[in-house]
Amino acid sequence: MNNRPPSQEKTPLLDALRASAHKPHAAFYAPGHKQGKGIPEPLADLLGKSVFRADKPELPELDNLFAPEGVIQEAQDLAAAAFGASKTWFLVNGSTCGVMAAIVATCYTGDKILLPRNIHQSAIAGLVLCGAIPIFINPEYDPSTDLVYSITPTAVNQALTEHPDTKAVMMVYPTYQGICGDIKAIAKIVHQHNIPLLVDEAHGPHFAFHPDLPLDALSAGADLTVQSTHKVLGAMTQASMLHIQGNR
């Protein structure tokens, strides 16, 4: 059996999009600019017309983001291998939709979930959508710098002891200011309760690619992490990824 990882030189989705953009045809489908022909000149002058030729819906050759089985699935599999995930999904509504999906996927109405007080507002939206009950943990605060740090393993352990019926734990790693908590210790504590650790890693998608950077969430044991590809890596605004590993 060949267990070699797939070559990261392949770009299946980009290749398919390029081929579709350059294929002569009449566009009887959305979007209404018809491959750039209907774009106002000022916008075309700013962006060029080639970007609009690549603005495509779910054509057969481009797969379907909601149920991928072609080039999108192949690209997601490559991303999973690169980031060390069991499975990866591409997100087009930023990490906001990934954080919301993580909460909705792990909590039902009335379920408890541990969250830091400095959680992103998308997590609050996720709570509203599924009706979960937040158990907030106060992160450490340094008044001399006015910086809010991460939640601590001690605080997580105490909260889980007080709320043993908790269904999931979510943390921010790193914070908006780049502060990283002891995620490895937190993951160990969370898994002792056999519940998943969800991570808002929006500002840390690059961690896995250099040994001098902080430990990435998956390597630390997170069950699910959401990363903003557009914030730090090379993608356009709203491009994010959701990675999972394990079976919790």
Residue 3 sits at φ, ψ, to 5 deg, of: -100, 15
Q: Examine the domain organization and report whether 28 and 127 are in the same domain.
A: no
- Give the pLDDT of the chain (248 residues) as one tens digit per residue: 445 567 799 999 999 999 999 998 888 889 999 988 999 999 999 999 889 999 999 899 999 999 999 999 999 999 999 999 999 999 999 999 999 999 999 999 999 999 999 999 999 999 999 999 999 999 999 999 999 999 999 999 999 999 999 999 999 999 999 999 999 999 999 999 999 999 999 999 999 999 999 999 999 999 999 999 999 998 999 999 999 999 98
User: Cα(175)–Cα(198) distance, rounded to whole angstroms?
Assistant: 14
Exposed e or buried b for every residue in 115-135, given b needs 16+ CB within 10 A?
bbebbbebbeebbeebebebe
Q: Examine the domain organization and report whether 155 and 212 are in the same domain.
A: yes
Q: Write out the residue range of the structural domain in which residue 41 sits.
A: 12-62
Q: CATH no. for residue 137?
A: 3.40.640.10
Q: Examine the domain organization and report whether 31 and 136 are in the same domain.
A: no
3 lies in some domain: no
Q: Examine the domain organization and report whether 158 and 237 are in the same domain.
A: yes
Task: Identify the CA nearest to 156 among candidates 175, 183, 176, 118.
Answer: 183
DSSP H or E segment with residue 189: helix 183-192
127 lies in some domain: yes
- Beta strand extents in 151-246 (DSSP E only): 166-172, 197-200, 224-227, 240-244
Number of domains present in the structure of the chain = 2
163 C-beta neighbours (distance < 10 Å), count: 15
User: Cα(243)–Cα(96) distance, rounded to whole angstroms?
Assistant: 14
